[in-house]
């Protein structure tokens, strides 16, 4: 993936996040408006309860209120779903980038797959030569993918740094063949892959939000892993900070020395 | 004036703690505290009064079933509403928790609206 594409993807993510926040704020404001309207209508209905009302007019008003109620519930559901989506994306990104150890990053990825997506079985692979070697398997036995056939759709998606979805991703998966594969790359270099084989019993299929989470994992997990590795290599937090300051200075055109 | 209620989330996964916290903070007049295992949860319960407990089952040091059992024996919190977090497949664990005194359960993968509805109903909010 080119640097330009990575930058574009990053900007697109920020724009999506910002649009999501704006949308949520608009919907929450409308939520308040609709709630107030509902209270007004209920008060109105209560105060007119004793009056002699034309039955037809009463039915028409009731129907109008029912339609408003239904619209209110629909909008409320949209707000809740959007909030849930933004919260999951934020928490995933936050947790990945707040991890300082490789093992912690791997744990966070597993937690996201199980607790946020509802994956039942999945495998972490690392790339070694032309092979994908399983590093860790959850909910299944992992086999080496010895036949790294570059013509296979999964391999092509991996090379392109793209998510791959099986045609049957509208199901829970078999637990034997991949349902979804998530490429792990650092820059142009392939690090490995996460293969999701099946979902929990009550989870019907891979959703659009799940796909967003997979894409987030694919890019951010790799970055978080490389940061954790850097932290492990340097070892000392104070030295890491000093080296970072030097690098920031260099990047900004200074002499590269900490002040 | 509406009383500020206190929720305690006991969960060893920081991802889940943060996500459940986000959901609960959408409920007005509800403050959220956290603990990362059953022992830490018990310590928090000893330190202050909570109005609802949300706990995972599978945790290190002390699991959620043990925690539920001990909370039900604690005079201060014996009537506190308890929500357990479970996977759908763990029907036995879920039944055990309900038998021990849990009031409701949330299944993974968690959805914020599900958490909010469950807690709101138990707190009558």
Instruction: Report the gap between the CA of A158 and the closest CA in chain B (Å).
Output: 27
Which pLDDT belongs to residue A149? 57
The pair of structure tokens assigned to B28 is 């007005």
| pLDDT 10s digits, A85-115 | 999 999 999 999 998 888 899 999 999 999 9
Which pLDDT belongs to residue B19? 94
Q: Residue B11 pLDDT more than 90?
A: yes
Which pLDDT belongs to residue A256? 52
Mean pLDDT along residues B25-30: 92
Q: In a 3-state reduction of DSSP, which class is residue A240? A: helix
- B18/A95 Cβ within 8 A: yes
| Residues paired with A196 in a beta bridge | A122, A180
Query: Which of A62-66, A161-165, B51-55 reaches the highest mean pLDDT?
Result: B51-55
Which pLDDT belongs to residue B6? 96
Q: In a 3-state reduction of DSSP, which class is residue A193? A: strand
- A80/B116 Cβ within 8 A: yes
| pLDDT 10s digits, B33-51 | 999 999 999 999 999 999 9
Which pLDDT belongs to residue A147? 45
Q: Which residues of A touch B116 (CB under 8 A)?
A: 80
Nearest to B18 among A83, A91, A118 (CB): A91
Mean pLDDT along residues A26-53: 70
Q: What is the DSSP string of B10-67?
A: E-S-HHHHHHHHHHHTTSTTEEEEEESSHHHHHHHHHHS--SEEEEESS-SSS-HHHH
| pLDDT 10s digits, A162-191 | 899 887 667 888 777 889 999 998 887 888
Q: What percent of chain B has pLDDT over 90?
A: 64
Q: Residue A58 pLDDT more than 90?
A: no
Instruction: Report the gap between the CA of A202 and the closest CA in chain B (Å).
Output: 7
Q: Residue A192 pLDDT more than 50?
A: yes
pLDDT tier at A130, thresholds 50, 70, 90: confident
Q: Does A111 touch chain B (CB under 8 A)?
A: yes
- A201/B113 Cβ within 8 A: no
Residue B115's Cβ-count burial label (10 Å; 0-12, 13-18, 19+) is buried
Instruction: Report the gap between the CA of B23 and the closest CA in chain A (Å).
Output: 8
Which pLDDT belongs to residue A36? 76
Q: Residue with structure tokens 């959220």? A: B32
Mean pLDDT along residues B26-35: 94
How would you classify the pairing of strands B52-56 and A119-128? unpaired
Mean pLDDT along residues A15-37: 69
CB count in 10 Å sphere of residue A126: 15
pTM for this predicted structure: 0.78
User: How far, in whole angstroms, is CA A89 from its chain's centroid?
Assistant: 4
Widest CA span of chain A, in angstroms?
Answer: 87
Q: Worst-scoring range by mean pLDDT, A36-50, A210-224, B11-25? A: A36-50
Mean pLDDT along residues B65-74: 93
Tell me what ipTM this predicted complex has.
0.86
Name which of A28, A80, A217 to mutate to probe chain B: the one with the most chain B Cβ atoms within 10 A of its Cβ: A80
Q: Does B28 touch chain A (CB under 8 A)?
A: no
Nearest to B22 among A87, A108, A116 (CB): A87
Q: What is the mean pLDDT of chain A?
A: 80
Residue A76's Cβ-count burial label (10 Å; 0-12, 13-18, 19+) is middle
Which pLDDT belongs to residue A15? 65
Nearest to A95 among B14, B88, B111 (CB): B14
Instruction: Report the gap between the CA of B110 and the closest CA in chain A (Å).
Output: 6
Residue of A nearest to B117 (CA): A80
Q: Does B89 touch chain A (CB under 8 A)?
A: yes
Q: What is the DSSP string of A139-177?
A: SS----B----TTSHHHHHHHHT--EE-TTTTS---SSS
pLDDT tier at B4, thresholds 50, 70, 90: very high
Nearest to B15 among A84, A95, A118 (CB): A95
Q: Which residues of B touch A117 (CB under 8 A)?
A: 109
Which pLDDT belongs to residue A8? 61
CA gap A37, A227 in Å, rounded: 51
Which pLDDT belongs to residue A146? 45
Residue of B nearest to A199 (CA): B109
């Amino acid at each position: 993936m080119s640097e330009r594409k990575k930058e574009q993807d990053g900007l697109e993510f920020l724009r999506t996040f910002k649009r999501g926040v704006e949308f949520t704020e608009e919907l929450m404001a409308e939520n308040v408006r609709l709630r107030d309207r509902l209270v007004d209508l209920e008060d109105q209905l209560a105060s007119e309860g004793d009056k002699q009302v034309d039955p037809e007019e009463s039915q028409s008003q009731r129907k109008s209120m029912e339609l408003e109620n239904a619209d209110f519930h629909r909008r409320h559901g949209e707000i809740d779903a959007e909030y849930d989506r933004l919260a999951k994306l934020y928490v995933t990104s936050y947790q990945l980038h707040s991890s300082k150890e490789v093992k912690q990053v791997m744990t966070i990825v597993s937690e996201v797959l199980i607790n946020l997506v509802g994956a039942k079985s999945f495998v972490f692979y690392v790339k070694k030569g032309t092979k994908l070697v399983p590093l860790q398997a959850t909910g299944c036995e992992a086999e080496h993918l010895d036949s790294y056939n570059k013509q296979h759709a999964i391999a092509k998606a991996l090379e392109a740094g793209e998510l791959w979805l099986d045609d049957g991703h509208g199901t829970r998966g078999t637990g034997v063949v991949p349902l979804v594969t998530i490429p792990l790359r650092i820059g142009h270099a392939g690090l490995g892959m996460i293969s999701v084989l099946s979902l929990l019993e009550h989870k019907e299929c891979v959703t659009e939000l799940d796909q967003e989470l997979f894409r987030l994992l694919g890019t951010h997990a790799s970055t978080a892993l490389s940061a954790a590795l850097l932290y492990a290599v340097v070892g000392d937090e104070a030295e890491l900070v000093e080296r970072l300051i030097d690098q920031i200075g260099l990047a900004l055109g200074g002499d590269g020395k900490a002040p | 004036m509406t009383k500020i209620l206190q929720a305690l989330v006991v969960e060893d996964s920081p991802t889940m703690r943060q996500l459940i916290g986000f959901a609960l903070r959408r409920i007005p007049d509800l403050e959220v505290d956290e603990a990362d295992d059953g022992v830490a949860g018990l310590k928090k319960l000893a330190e202050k009064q909570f109005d609802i407990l949300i706990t995972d089952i599978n945790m290190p040091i002390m699991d959620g079933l043990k925690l539920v059992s001990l909370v039900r024996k604690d005079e201060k919190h014996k009537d506190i509403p308890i929500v357990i977090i479970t996977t759908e497949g763990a029907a036995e664990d879920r039944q055990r928790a309900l038998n021990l005194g849990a009031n409701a359960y949330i299944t993974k993968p968690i959805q914020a609206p599900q958490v909010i509805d469950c807690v709101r109903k138990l707190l009558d909010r």
